Amino acid sequence: MDLLCEGRICVVTGAGRGIGREHATMLARHGAKVVVNDLGGDMDGTGTPSDGPAHEVAQEIREAGGEAVANGDDVASWEGAQRLINTAVESFGGLDVVVNNAGILRDRMLVNMTEDEWDAVINVHLKGTFAPSRWAAAYWREQTKAGEPVEARLINTTSVSGIYGNAGQTNYGAAKMGIAAFTVIASRELARYGVTVNAIAPAALTRMTENLGMGEASDEVKEQMSPRWIAPIVTWLASTESSAVTGRVFEASGRVLAVAEGWHRGPVAEPVEDPTLIRPLVDKLLAEARPNADMSGRDESK
């Protein structure tokens, strides 16, 4: 087997279970040295933090002949994110890849959502993507200034719930749409330092999705929705083969691998000053525009 990530130093957040575990173990099988980050706790972010899951995955990688260390820092903490990036540099001598995967769910319809349910999800997903990315970007900038070659990767985790929209997830969807925008903007900022930035929108049956009505799914569906299908695109994006790809969002599951197309300007009308003239213009624009996509990424009117 060709090793796509031989010697690459990778950080994977939320890697103690589910999709993150698959990322970490496949990266290791392809020759990467992996920092396995996981805070532990419950899927809604509550419970007692524990670095047990991170240590278990790191141990599994080492027993298979790979290189890995565990890290239990909170990626939504400014200092914790810095320690996480420092762990890669201090343990393996550098940093090539950060996979921002950590996340929680606190689903609720908007009219019933609490402030804490909003804040917790936004903090883990958005700040938990920003903080490790910021410290990694600062490291790569310093490497570039020192004349060191940099071929680095940021790989973020968005969701079809964010880019297409799913009822009951205004907090989660807003965070995930924010991560998609973060990805596009960061790709433009960090290109000068030799860094590509992409995102994946995975669909998988994991601890986070077990309460979404998939418990009675057929064996065929469960296989299609296995988290193992997400790791191949992440492993490839982490490799040097992906150097020409940046600022993109990839949908990934056992059913599909696709590029999600972002916002584009649609039909256009000349602006008017009189609001009483707006309605026919809007009617015309909407008649010519593509409808929003449903959760499958397709025209929701069909």
Give the model's confidence band at 1: pLDDT under 50 very low, under 70 low, under 90 confident, else very high.
confident
Give the whole-number percent of the chain exceeding pLDDT 90.
82
Average pLDDT, the chain: 92
Decide if pLDDT at 224 tops 80: no
- Cβ-based burial of 291 (10 A; exposed 0-12, middle 13-18, buried ≥19): exposed
- Tens digits of residue pLDDT in 104-135: 999 999 999 999 999 999 999 999 999 999 99
Q: The CATH number of 9-260 is which of 3.40.50.150, 3.40.50.720, 3.10.20.30, 3.50.50.60?
A: 3.40.50.720
Could you give the residue numbers annotated as active site?
A: 172
pLDDT tens sequence across 266-285 = 999 999 999 999 999 999 99
Checking if the pLDDT of 47 tops 60, the result is no
Which band of pLDDT confidence, cut at 50, 70 and 90, is reported for residue 173? very high
Contact 77, 128 (CB under 8 A): no
- pLDDT of residue 43 exceeding 60: no
Six token digits for residue 220: 């065929």
Please tell me which residue, 149 or 223, carries the higher pLDDT value. 149
On the question of pLDDT at 301 being above 80, the answer is no
Contact assessment for residue 12 and residue 23, using Cβ atoms and an 8 Å cutoff? yes
Is pLDDT above 70 for 265? yes
Query: 189 pLDDT exceeds 60?
Result: yes
Residue 222: its pLDDT value, please? 67
- Quickly state the pLDDT bin for 50 (edges 50, 70, 90): low
Cβ–Cβ under 8 Å, residues 231 and 22 = yes
Region 213-218: what's the mean pLDDT?
Answer: 59
- Of the two residues 224 and 214, the one the predictor is more confident about is 224
Lowest-confidence pick of 9-13, 166-170, 238-242? 166-170
**Sheet bearing 257-260, strands edge to edge:** 67-71, 33-37, 9-12, 97-99, 152-157, 195-202, 249-252, 257-260
208 vs 194: which has the higher pLDDT: 194
- Phi-psi domain of 93 (left: phi exceeds 0; alpha: psi -120 through 50; beta: other): left
User: pLDDT of 202-212, one tens digit each?
Assistant: 986 755 555 54
The residue extents of the domains of the chain are 9-260, 266-302
pLDDT for 177 equals 97
Indicate if the pLDDT at residue 185 is higher than 80.
yes
Over residues 23-41, mean pLDDT? 94
* C-beta separation of 85 from 139 below 8 A: yes
Token pair of 61 as six digits = 């990688």
- The pLDDT confidence band at residue 296, using thresholds 50, 70 and 90, is confident
Name the least confident of 65-74, 143-152, 222-231. 222-231
- Mean pLDDT, residues 24-42 taken together: 92
